[in-house]
């Protein structure tokens, strides 16, 4: 365990869902301090207990309410359904000042979840930026990773595209992507998140058409560090 891992706390808001628990599992396994947030603290405690049962009591996973988790964390990850996106951000935006927010949300609008449907802001990540205001670095990542990949120890043959409001924030996010056992790519400014979020609907459609559950993307023809 490195000093940075000992210091860094990651809050996962909406961490009781499948994607949130999968990321919590990956980061706890990598020895980060993980704070699972939920609208109901009791649900968060239950999810934290499930992660500890899988990895052992020595890992640092705690269940809290969303505002409590956001307040204690250095980096905040948002994994709520799009229907809860706005209200969750409003409830924690005061706790996000000076921090990095990694938005995993995809603006899926049932029942047509295989059709790209973007909000007026351009993307969920851009919408988050408008809600939280100045003083918060916003990145988008993990939209194209199936939760089925995360809650086990197998290698994941899928890449993660990262957009964000600054090069520095994207670099920090890529560190967490790699800590989760995945390969991350700097995909440029937050405006590019419209493409990444939209790809999720495309992948859902591919899964339905071809009988899969975890279609993903992989970058080819580019060298790491280039």
pLDDT tens by residue, the chain, 226 residues:
454 444 689 999 999 999 999 999 999 999 999 999 999 999 999 999 999 999 998 999 999 999 999 999 999 999 999 999 999 999 999 999 999 999 999 999 999 999 999 999 999 999 999 999 999 999 999 999 888 778 878 888 899 999 999 999 999 999 999 999 999 999 999 999 999 999 999 999 999 999 988 889 999 999 876 4
Q: Report CA Rg, the chain.
A: 16
Q: How far are the Cα atoms of 1, 37, 99, 148, 167 from residue 8, in angstroms, in the given order? A: 11, 16, 12, 26, 19
Q: How far are the Cα atoms of 17, 48, 88, 94, 170 from residue 38, in angstroms, in the given order? A: 9, 11, 9, 17, 25
Token match 């975890």: residue? Answer: 214
Assess whether the previous peptide bond of 111 is cis (omega < 30° from 0).
yes
Q: How far are the Cα atoms of 68, 195, 197, 200 from residue 123, in angstroms, in the given order? A: 27, 9, 7, 12
Fold observed for domain 3-210? Rossmann fold (3.40.50)
The pTM of this model reads 0.94
Instruction: Report residue 191 as tokens.
Output: 């405006």
* CB within 8 Å of 73: residues ≥ 6 apart: 9, 10, 11, 35, 99
């Amino acid at each position: 365990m490195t000093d940075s891992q000992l210091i860094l706390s990651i809050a996962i808001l909406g961490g009781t869902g499948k994607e949130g628990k999968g990321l919590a599992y990956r980061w706890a396994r990598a020895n980060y301090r993980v704070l699972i947030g939920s609208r109901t603290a009791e649900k968060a405690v239950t999810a934290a207990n499930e992660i500890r049962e899988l990895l052992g009591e020595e890992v640092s996973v705690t269940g809290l309410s969303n505002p409590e988790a956001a307040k204690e964390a250095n980096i905040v990850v948002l994994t709520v359904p799009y229907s809860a996106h706005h209200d969750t951000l409003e409830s924690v935006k005061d706790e996000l000042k000076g921090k990095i927010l990694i938005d995993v949300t995809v603006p899926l609008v049932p029942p047509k979840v295989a059709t790209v449907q973007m909000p007026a802001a351009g993307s969920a990540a851009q919408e988050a930026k408008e809600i939280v205001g100045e003083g918060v670095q916003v990145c988008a990542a993990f939209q194209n990773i199936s939760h089925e990949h995360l809650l086990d120890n197998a290698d994941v043959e899928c890449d993660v595209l990262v957009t964000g409001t600054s090069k520095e924030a994207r670099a920090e996010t890529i560190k967490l992507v790699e800590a989760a056992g995945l390969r991350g790519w700097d995909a440029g400014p937050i405006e590019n998140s419209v493409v990444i979020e939209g790809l999720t609907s495309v992948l859902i459609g591919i899964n339905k058409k071809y009988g899969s559950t975890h279609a993903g993307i992989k970058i080819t023809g580019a060298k790491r560090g280039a």
